[in-house]
Amino acid sequence: MSLLRKVTIACGLGGMVMAAVAAGLGGMACQEGTRLRLTLQPEKVISRIDEKIYGHFLEHIYHSVHGGLWGEMVWNRSFEELTGGVWRVEGGELIQEVANNPDVRLTFGDPNWSDYEISLEAQKISGREGFLILFRAKSERDFYWINIGGWGNTATAVERSNDNRRKVISPWRPTRIEEGRWYKIRVRCQGRRIQAWLDDQLLLDFTDNSENAHLTGKVGVGTWLTRAKFRNIKVTALDGKVLFEGLPEVPKHTTARYWQAFGQGEVYVTGENPLNSNLCQFIASNAGETGVRQSPLCIRAGEVYQGSVWVRGEAPKGLVVRLKDGDKVIAEQKLPAPTREWKEYPIEFKPAETAESATLEIAAIAPARVWIDQVSLMSESSKRTGGFRPDLLEALKALRPAAIRWPGGCFASAYRWKDGIGPQHKRRVYPLHIWDDLEVNAFGTDEFIRLCRAVGAEPIIVINIGTKAWNGPDANEEEFLQDAMDWVEYCNGPTTSRWGSVRAANGHPEPYNVKFWEIDNETWHMGPEAYAEAIRKFVPALKKVDPNIKIIACGSGGYGWGALRWNRIVIERCADLIDYLSIHHYEDPNRFAEGPYDYERFFRETAKIIANSRNPNIKLFVSEWNAQSTDWRTGLYAGGLLNAFERCADIVEIASPALLMRHWWSGARPGGWREWDNAFINFDHRTWFPAPNYVVMKLWREHYAPFLIGMEGETKPLNAVATKSADGKTLYFKAVNPTQQSVQVELVVEGNNTVKSASMQVIAPGDLHARNTLEEPNLVRPEPAEVQFNSHTVKFALPPYSAGVVTINLQ
């Protein structure tokens, strides 16, 4: 322990005033602060605390699973995730082939064009929306586009992008684009005036008088989560001169995201006969080797790595797959000449050297024209765990999660569970790119249950009810209802049932007996009345499949009048059908002190609604909570809120924070800023570190006891609880000191109980902005602290901005 940490933890004991604490506390000296005398009442049990308040929430975003917990080392193994679209020209048509990527654009023409008219025809092939027609595109970040059938295929408007910040600048027009139909589109820009027609009907006519208006630029076409094709493109100056007519040159998308091309041949992503889903990788070589590579991979000497690659095409001299450390080959395997049909070729490497940033290469040896798909590589260590990355699995195990919610979050609202079962090469990609992730569905229902069994957690599954906001305007509720019923049957049905037999065929004959089912996630866009109707439709159908399941309904986000209104309407209309209400709140990390109390008051207000309902036994599931930070403030908030859960154990039965995991690079922005930066477990391809919320929750979980006991006396400024073990022989005092002064505490144990021993663990990094990192993963950590005790009294001090647990063993 450093001298600084010794000073911080000791501060206040015996009335001492110590030297200045760490930087970040405003340069203040450690002051004696408040003295508290509290009486613990072991014989006064207030309520039973369900250990499921120490649950967790695994969502497939920020590469928490794909590229993270799941032990597959290859990112984007099926070449589906791109940084743009896949364009091709065929039969006089310009075709964009990818439906799961947003913001796909192809611009062409002269950046100095000013006043002109662009006309074309467009057809939607499939997807969520309609067409993007770009004009006055000065750069990739500065342009106009008319979004026809945007916003879930509901409306048309013009958006202006200035330095990639986009804003609707025109009136809105209701619009719906049908699949398989050609639409005539015309856009005219003259000075600041912009006009647009759809099928010769004027849609928009307005003037952009902003100082940020664009007056010159190229033209272009694009899509958003949609496959489409375009033809008869013509750009005409307002004096009648034809500026462009025909189809633009189409750049070939050389590689998918996370892959790079090498060699002198031709490499591009294509939709031509992929093994599964939408895309595969084409490689042609006329001389030497041409291929694709990916890095970094963490390779350990003595480990065995196994996997495969699917190949079709012609390569008489075969292919080669290798691992390299810089320019040095550390493992290599030759593959035979492929056939014209897709075939899987196994790979096995046994490197004798360690390389923490190795490169995987797949090369076709000239002459060759081949297509590859579904590249896989996993360590033998991961295979032994059931397919999980060992260090991340151990990090999760150490939290001892009593329950795990899955697969989302917003991810659940578009998840199609049948795409994530069965042989890996037959699984289809998730339909959307969200939160810097496109899930390839290598980890599905069976893998999730395997994870829960490995860490001792109760599974909680969130179903997709087919909302149009997430599943497109053509989503059929009946189809999603059947899907949900099938999912319950897959998990819980006997092998004689249709989907129980599929589960058995996938290697799991015994039912999983999943008890907890949540009816979608954050359905606030529907309104509480429409959501209540969905509950009344889905729940009876699901219970026909398994009458023993427990139902969780979506509750509020945040707290306040609007949140209480949502909860009241859902409870009033659905109380007889639900067992839990799922609520969410993410806190400003600067409110680490008052935030937990505010949310606790909201629990109590919601409890009053429940008590007056037709089902007063409904409990709360705080299914997403956190403070938006990975510094010490989020640790203080976590401790305070966990204490609130324990104090409210009569109403809060389950809880799970978010995010559980994220790849440290995922979602990173220039300057080191990270969106949604609050994950408990943060990792790269080599290692991981715990954020302060992880450190606190682990300490609290290790000192869980099932009985909340009475405590007399004023606890403030501390946020504190007292609990008792099942056998009554151990008491725990868990407290957060959210102030800049030390707090001296005297605990008096009431009754005939005699203190046998006492100990304390404290987390006091000395700086509100202290954090762990990949390089220094243990800067924020618990340390033993001094405790004084006699037969009935325990004395200790909590340093400024600290969280700690005192363990009292009774005779």
Condensed to tens digits (0 to 9), the pLDDT of residues 309-357 reads 999 999 999 999 999 999 999 999 999 999 999 999 999 999 999 999 9
pLDDT of residue 666: 77
Cis bond before residue 132 (omega within 30° of 0): no
The whole-model pTM stands at 0.90
pLDDT of residue 153: 93
pLDDT of residue 8: 32
Amino acid, res. 696 = V
pLDDT of residue 251: 79
d(CA 406, CA 306) in angstroms, rounded, equals 28
- Identify any residues that bridge with 119 across adjacent strands, giving them in sequence order: 186, 234
Q: How far is CA 286 from the centre of its chain?
A: 43
Q: Where are the alpha helices (DSSP H) in 194-246?
A: none
pLDDT of residue 618: 98
d(CA 263, CA 319) in angstroms, rounded, equals 13
Q: Which residue has the tokens 């902003």?
A: 210
pLDDT of residue 13: 35
754: its two tokens: 């005699």
Strands 403-406 vs 458-463: parallel, antiparallel or unpaired: parallel
Q: In this structure, what is the dihedral angle of CA atoms 651, 655, 658, 662, given to the nearest 10 degrees?
A: 180
Q: Which residue has the tokens 């324990």?
A: 646
- CA-based diameter of the chain, in Å? 100
Q: In this structure, what is the dihedral angle of CA atoms 383, 389, 391, 393, given to the nearest 10 degrees?
A: -90
Answer yes or no: are the C-beta atoms of 631 and 780 closer than 8 Å.
Answer: no
Q: How far is CA 575 from the centre of its chain?
A: 30
Q: Which residue has the tokens 């654009």?
A: 105
Which secondary-structure segment (H or E) carries 90? strand 87-90
Which secondary-structure segment (H or E) carries 318? none
d(CA 156, CA 160) in angstroms, rounded, equals 13
Strands 730-737 vs 719-724: parallel, antiparallel or unpaired: antiparallel
* Closest to 25 measured CA to CA, from 765, 691, 544: 765
Answer yes or no: are the C-beta atoms of 73 and 297 closer than 8 Å.
Answer: yes
pLDDT of residue 669: 62
- Residue ranges for the chain with pLDDT beneath 70: 1-32, 253, 669-673
Residues 6+ apart with CB under 8 A from 682: 630, 661, 662, 664, 688, 689, 690, 691, 774
d(CA 761, CA 785) in angstroms, rounded, equals 6
